[in-house]
C-alpha cells in the first residue's frame, strides 16, 4: 500500500519544528490541516496543543478529547481537512514508538520531529497500513538538512 505524499507549507513546517524545539526536552504535539486531491495531501495550517500527559513528558505525549474536538471544529469552520497529528521525539529518531502505534488512528498522517539539543535533527511522516503497522509517507520539498539519507 502506498500513501499520498505530503506537501507541507514551509510556514507550517517551521511552526511544527519551532514548537518541538521550544518544548525540548519534553515532547510537544499538535494538529495539521489542509486538503487532499487524490494525488497529494497538502498541509497548509498547523496548530499547537498542550501535551496533556501527566507526569514525565520527555517520552510521551497525550492529546485531550477536548483538543481533538476543537481540532475537528476548527477544520469544519475553516473548510479544511484534519490530516493528522504531529509530535516530537526529543533525543530519539523520528520513528514511531509502540505507544505511538497504540494510539494511532487510520487515515491520519503522523509527522514526527526528532529534536536534539542543537535543534531539529530530522522530520518524517507515517501512516497506518492495512495491517495496522506504520508505513513511511514521502514528504515533498523537505529541507535536505531534515531528511534521512
Q: Is the model's pLDDT at 149 over the cut of 60?
A: no
For residues 115 and 129, give the distance between their C-alpha atoms in angstroms, rounded to a whole number: 26
For residues 26 and 51, give the distance between their C-alpha atoms in angstroms, rounded to a whole number: 9
Task: Label residue 145 by pLDDT band (50, 70, 90).
Answer: confident
pLDDT digits (tens, 9 = 90+) for 4-37: 899 999 999 999 999 999 999 999 999 999 999 9
In a domain, 1, yes or no: no
Which neighbouring-strand residues pair with 41? 6, 36
Sheet containing strand 139-140, strands side by side: 134-137, 119-128, 109-116, 81-90, 29-36, 41-49, 6-8, 139-140
Q: What does the radius of gyration of the chain's CA atoms come to, in whole angstroms?
A: 14
pLDDT digits (tens, 9 = 90+) for 26-79: 999 999 999 999 899 999 999 999 999 998 899 899 999 999 999 999 999 999
In a domain, 66, yes or no: yes
Average pLDDT score, the chain: 93
Residues 6+ apart with CB under 8 A from 53: 27, 60, 61, 62
How many structural domains are present in the chain? 1
Residue 99 lies in domain: 6-146
pLDDT of residue 52: 94
CATH of the domain at 52: 3.40.140.10
For residues 42 and 5, give the distance between their C-alpha atoms in angstroms, rounded to a whole number: 8
pTM of the model: 0.94
In a domain, 92, yes or no: yes
In a domain, 101, yes or no: yes
In a domain, 84, yes or no: yes
Task: Label residue 1 by pLDDT band (50, 70, 90).
Answer: low
pLDDT digits (tens, 9 = 90+) for 79-94: 999 999 999 999 999 9
pLDDT digits (tens, 9 = 90+) for 86-134: 999 999 999 999 999 999 998 999 999 999 999 999 999 999 999 999 9
Amino acid at each position: 500500500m502506498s500513501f499520498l505524499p505530503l506537501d507541507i507549507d514551509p510556514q507550517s513546517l517551521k511552526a511544527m519544528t519551532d514548537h518541538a524545539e521550544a518544548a525540548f526536552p519534553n515532547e510537544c504535539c499538535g494538529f495539521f490541516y489542509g486538503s487532499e486531491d487524490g494525488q497529494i495531501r497538502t498541509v497548509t495550517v498547523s496548530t499547537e496543543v498542550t501535551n496533556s500527559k501527566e507526569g514525565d513528558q520527555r517520552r510521551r505525549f497525550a492529546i485531550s478529547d477536548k483538543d481533538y474536538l476543537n481540532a475537528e471544529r476548527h477544520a469544519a469552520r475553516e473548510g479544511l481537512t484534519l490530516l493528522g497529528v504531529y509530535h516530537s521525539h526529543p533525543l530519539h529518531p523520528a520513528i514511531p514508538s509502540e505507544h505511538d502505534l497504540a494510539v494511532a488512528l487510520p487515515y491520519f498522517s503522523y509527522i514526527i520531529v526528532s529534536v536534539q539539543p542543537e535543534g531539529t535533527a530530522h522530520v518524517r511522516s507515517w501512516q497506518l497500513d492495512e495491517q495496522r503497522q506504520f508505513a513511511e509517507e514521502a514528504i515533498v520539498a523537505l529541507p535536505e538538512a531534515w531528511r534521512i539519507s
